[in-house]
Amino acid sequence: MNLEDRIHIHELILSSGMALDERRFEDYLALYAEAGEYLVTAHVPETASLGTWMDLDKDNLRRLLESADRHTWNTGERLHQISAPVFTLEAGEVRTISVFSVFRIDEVGESRLYAVGHYHDIWVRTDRWLLKRRVARLASRHLTPPSAMPL
């Protein structure tokens, strides 16, 4: 993996947040490989375990996003802030970890922090770099009011 690949993957990570913020769901889905997966996890003290709060293959992620506008929890704008990733090369796969924050902006323009965590991404290269798996590992456990929109 050369510097150009690193820059490209970094840009893809940033673009994933922008695509969600701008509700360009097809662009967001295009970041994933056909066998791609999206998960949200959080450490839960009450069960003393890593809880899985979302676990979708690409088809189910598409179905969720396609119906997003018909749900009632989608009011308000969001803004993702994503850090530069840390890269590791493992078993021929590129893995990145980046910090994310998701802010919500209400109808009168007030912003507040909604969730923070790390993206643990696995990237594969076909004709281009694609997400094989994204785990949004939450540090926040209190999402309020919650929403089924991917983070």
Q: What is the contact surface with other proteins in residues (CB under 8 A)? A: 40, 42, 44-49, 51-56, 63-64, 67, 70-73, 75, 141-149
Cβ of residue 9: shortest distance to other proteins, in angstroms? 26
Helix (H) or strand (E) holding 129: strand 129-138
Whichever of 79 and 148 has its CB closer to other proteins, that residue is: 148
Query: How far apart are the C-alpha atoms of 87 and 82, rounded to whole Å?
Result: 15
Measured from the CB of residue 145, what is the shortest distance to other proteins in angstroms? 5
Cβ proximity to other proteins: between 6 and 120 the closer is 120
The minimum distance between CB 59 and other proteins, in angstroms, equals 9
Task: Compute the distance between CA of residue 122 and CA of residue 51 in angstroms, rounded to an integer.
Answer: 20
Whichever of 56 and 116 has its CB closer to other proteins, that residue is 56
Strands 49-57 and 32-44, by their bridges, are antiparallel
| Three-class secondary structure of residue 29 per DSSP | helix
